[in-house]
């Protein structure tokens, strides 16, 4: 009976240790430029138990007509693992809702409305052993008012 208990305990410990993963599904990070158009704070959640499809939402501030304007970036992304669960190629598609002043130079006194900007992205992401993440993305944007083909976003944050 004692050996059966010890054997069962060892099997339980072994199964539990193999079932644990160091992959964390959530990221909280700050971004300079990128989808938020200026400075933004973002939350991202991976939908699976390994890197792959993720959803993001954020709150940003960008400068337009010498005032700070709010932006709300939302989007999806996909992480392509480069083989070690630490380095990834990241692709994504986002929509950033922002005051139209960010997208164009409207006349003073014009009524401010939120308008969408479409922002695809591709870049490199790295996860450190200390649950930190950083990334650099090419994030051009396309709107009714103007487009920018040369726009780079830099992010640093925590994996939680």
Residue 8: inside a domain, yes or no? Answer: no
In 3D, which of 115, 123, 119, 128 has the Cα closest to residue 148?
Answer: 119
Is residue 103 one of the residues assigned to a domain? Answer: yes
Residue 120's CATH number = 2.40.160.20
At 2-43, the pLDDT tens digits run: 554 565 556 555 544 444 456 688 999 999 998 988 899 999
**Residue 42 within a domain:** yes
CA distances from 61 to 8, 9, 104, 157, 158 (A): 56, 54, 15, 18, 21
* Residue range 55-103, pLDDT digits in tens: 999 999 987 667 788 899 999 999 999 988 899 999 999 999 887 777 7
Q: Which domain holds residue 99?
A: 24-159
What local confidence, expressed as pLDDT, does residue 11 receive? 58
CB 91 within 8 A of CB 80: yes
Report, in angstroms and rounded to the nearest whole number, the Rg of the chain calculated over CA atoms. Answer: 21
pLDDT score for 19 = 45
17 falls within a domain: no
Per the domain annotation, does 108 fall within a domain? yes
In a domain, 107, yes or no: yes
Looking up tokens 């920018």, which residue turns up? 148
- 16: Cβ–Cβ under 8 A, 6 or more apart, which residues? none
Tell me what pLDDT residue 15 has: 47
Task: Supply the pLDDT for residue 54.
Answer: 96
> Looking at the 3D structure of the chain, how many domains does it have?
1
Q: Per the domain annotation, does 44 fall within a domain?
A: yes
Residue 12 lies in a domain: no
What's the predicted TM-score (pTM) here? Answer: 0.78
Angle at Cα 65 formed by Cα 61 and Cα 68, nearest 5°? 20
Mean pLDDT within 107-121 = 75
CB contact set of 65 (below 8 Å; sequence gap of 6+)? 101, 105, 106, 108
Q: What's the mean pLDDT in 106-130?
A: 81
């Amino acid at each position: 009976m004692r050996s059966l208990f010890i054997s069962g305990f060892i099997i339980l410990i072994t199964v539990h240790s193999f079932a644990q993963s160091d992959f964390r599904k959530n990221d909280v990070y700050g971004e300079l430029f990128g989808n938020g158009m200026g400075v933004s704070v973002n939350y991202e959640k991976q939908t699976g138990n390994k890197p792959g499809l993720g959803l993001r939402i954020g709150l940003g501030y960008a400068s337009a007509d010498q005032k700070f304007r709010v932006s709300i970036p939302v989007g999806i992304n996909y992480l392509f693992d480069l083989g070690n669960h630490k380095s990834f190629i990241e692709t994504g598609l986002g929509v950033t809702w922002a005051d139209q002043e960010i997208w164009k130079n409207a006349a003073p006194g014009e009524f401010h409305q939120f308008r969408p900007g479409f922002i695809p992205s591709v870049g490199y992401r790295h996860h450190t052993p200390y649950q930190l993440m950083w990334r650099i993305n090419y994030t051009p944007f396309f709107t009714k008012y103007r487009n920018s083909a040369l726009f780079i976003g830099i992010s640093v944050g925590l994996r939680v």
